[in-house]
Structure 1
Amino acid sequence: MHPLDKCLLFHLLMYLGRSADGSEIINGELAPENSMLYMASLQDSNGHHLCGGFLIREDFVLTAAHCDPRITHVVLGTHDLKSVNDDNKISIKDKYKHESYKEVKTGNDIMLLKLSKKVSLNGRVQTIPLPTSGMNNQDACQVAGWGAIETGGRAVDDLRVVDVSIINLEVCTKEWGRLPANVICAGGYGTDKGFCRGDSGGPLVCNGKAVGVVSFDIGGNYPDVPNVYTDVSKYLTWINDTLKPYK
């Protein structure tokens, strides 16, 4: 599809309220085996991968609110979804969707999953720290997931990762026309890399911290507009308040 046609299609989709949720890593590479040990695959009762997420405490996974339907458990401790066993699976006890979330295009696309038990942190499973404040200027960040690697393709079994750069929010807003509050833009603009459509709920990792949650994009193999993430730093109070009763 010609870039102009894709832009026109995008604005039509936005008008209709149907921006694309992230579900593919485009032009990435296999994640090294002992990296990103915080990554979680969110699955349904049949073991189908639906979304990504990331472990922030032994009993909590952070993800996107739009991932809520049908997920029943998370898989931790493996990059290869063909090698999942009962030891990797942890059921979800409770879901805490942000109270202001209505739909992706209006923002607050963030959710905490309370696991049924605490997981053991070891050489296969680790947590990832969250930012302590707002983003500084960052150039090199990463996003990862198990989504398809091309539009219309099937999900992959091996975790893939791609490098992306933060995009100025003014530039991002200009390209999109409008954006919800509390978002970060990275990748997908002026490049053929990003989550177009990246794995929903997965982390945007900069300097070893999970600064964003994959939320939405335009869709397509080579996006013309930036990829959009929920800005985790804007929800630290909500996250801490949700975790507090379980300490």
Structure 2
Amino acid sequence: MKHALHRILLLQLLTTLGLHALGSEIINGKKVPDNKMQFMASVQNNQNVHICGGFLINEVFVVTAAHCDRSNPTSVVLGTHNLKKVDEKMRYGVKRCKHPSYKKVEEGADIMLLKLSRKARQNKRIKPIPLPKAEIKFKNEQKCQVAGWGSTSDGKSVDELLMVVVPIVDLEACKRIWERRNFTLPENITCAGGYRTKNGFCEGDSGGPLVCNGRAAGVVSYNWNNNCQYPNMPNVYTDLPKYLPWIRKILKKNNC
């Protein structure tokens, strides 16, 4: 009962703030070819239903958003872009490694590692995405990509992985834009899409990667306004390079 009450209060708070961090919707996206983005992971619950996106960073770990934890992820699916074409060889049980600083989505540190129950062997369908080697100096309007599964802006559910190009929004400008709505963005975030463009994610496309120059640069965290009629407000991502020391520590221990 206590857990349920906390969940209700959190959902009420997100609604009040105009934040929507659940689900997975790519706006104005295109189908991803099978030979692209082989690192994408579908994070699923105990009913084998897609709840969040994620991305493979080595043969043992997938990155996703920490707020996906409340949807009780129990497995990930790798090696397919079509969620109607899943066999049990593609499914991996997971152990959750949520960032210790994460409390709620609007306070940041919205990142979680999922340790796979067995190694994911690389093949033409499965390939980890490289991590950045250090901090990324984004250029304003630099073109990056975001991908995910789920509904589109017309509310139709899709099973094919979709991808869209999103421009980076200058961080200081992004903060000022959000402050006009009386919302202070947390530390260690990146902004891209949703503002001055019709492209972006909706209801978070939670846990999916922001891909810049072929490397994982961010983790989909939240946006503003669940009707997703962009342009409106910049979309918010966890700045993945800021969490490289934590990620490397877990990868070195091979545990959390």
Please report the TM-score for the alignment, with normalisation by the length of structure 1. 0.90
Select the residue among 212, 220, 226 that pairs with 2:227: 220
Confirm or deny that 1:166 pairs with 2:182: no
Paired residues of 1:30 and 1:161 also in contact (CA < 8 A): yes
Q: Tell me which residue corresponds to 1:60.
A: 61
Match of 1:232 in 2: 240
Partner of 2:146: 143
The question of whether the paired residues in 2 share the 8 Å contact of 1:25 and 1:198 is answered with no
1:14 deviates by: 6.5
Aligned AA (1:232): L
**Inter-CA distance 103–13: structure 2 relative to 1 (3 Å threshold):** closer
1:20 matches 2:20: yes
Question: Which position in structure 1 is the counterpart of 2:253?
Answer: 245
Shift of 1:89: 0.6
Structure with more of its chain in strand, by fraction = 2
The answer as to whether partners of 2:54 and 2:62 remain within 8 angstroms in 1 is yes
Deviation of the 1:196 alpha carbon: 2.6
Give the conservation status (yes or no) of the 8 Å contact 1:44–1:72: yes
C-alpha distance in 2 between matches for 1:13 and 1:100 = 20
Offset, 1:15: 8.9
**Contact 2:14 2:20 (8 Å CA) reproduced:** no
Aligned-residue Cα RMSD (Å) equals 1.8
- Partner SS for 1:238: helix
Contact 1:54 1:61 in 2 (8 A): yes
TM-score by length of 2: 0.87
Contact 1:212 1:229 in 2 (8 A): yes
SS at match of 2:88: coil
The answer to whether 1:206 aligns with 2:209 is no
Equivalent residue letter for 2:21: D
Contact 1:26/1:198 (CA < 8 Å) preserved in 2? Answer: no
2:163 partner SS = strand
- CA positional deviation for 1:155: 3.7
Q: CA deviation at 1:16?
A: 3.7
Poorly superposed stretches of 4+, deviation over 4 Å? 12-15
Deviations 1:178-208 (A, max 9, x none): 1000000000001111003341000000000
Asked if structure 2 preserves the Cα contact closer than 8 Å seen for 1:19 and 1:217, the reply is yes
Cα pair distance change 1:198/1:149, threshold 3 Å: farther
Counterpart secondary structure, 1:145 = strand
Secondary structure of residue in 1 paired with 2:245: helix
Partner residue in 2 for 1:130: 131
How far residue 124 of structure 1 moved from its aligned partner, in angstroms, is 0.6
Whether the 8 Å CA contact 2:222–2:237 is kept in 1: the answer is yes
Percent same amino acid among aligned pairs? 52
The answer to whether the 8 A contact 2:41-2:78 is kept is yes
Q: Structure 1, residues 112-133: CA drift from partner, whole Å, max 9, x if none?
A: 0011011110111000011112
Once residues 102 and 140 of structure 1 are traced to their aligned partners in structure 2, the CA distance between those partners, rounded to angstroms, is: 31
Flag structure 1 segments of 5+ consecutive residues without an equivalent. Answer: 1-11
Counterpart of 1:220 in structure 2: which amino acid? N
Give 1:66-105 correspondences, 5 Å limit: 66-68=67-69, 69-92=71-94, 94-105=95-106
Superimposed CA distance per residue, residues 140-173 of structure 1 (whole angstroms, 9 cap, x where no aligned partner) = 110000021126x254200000000110001100
Query: In structure 2, what residue type is equivalent to 1:229?
Result: Y
CA contact (8 A) 1:55 1:61 kept: yes
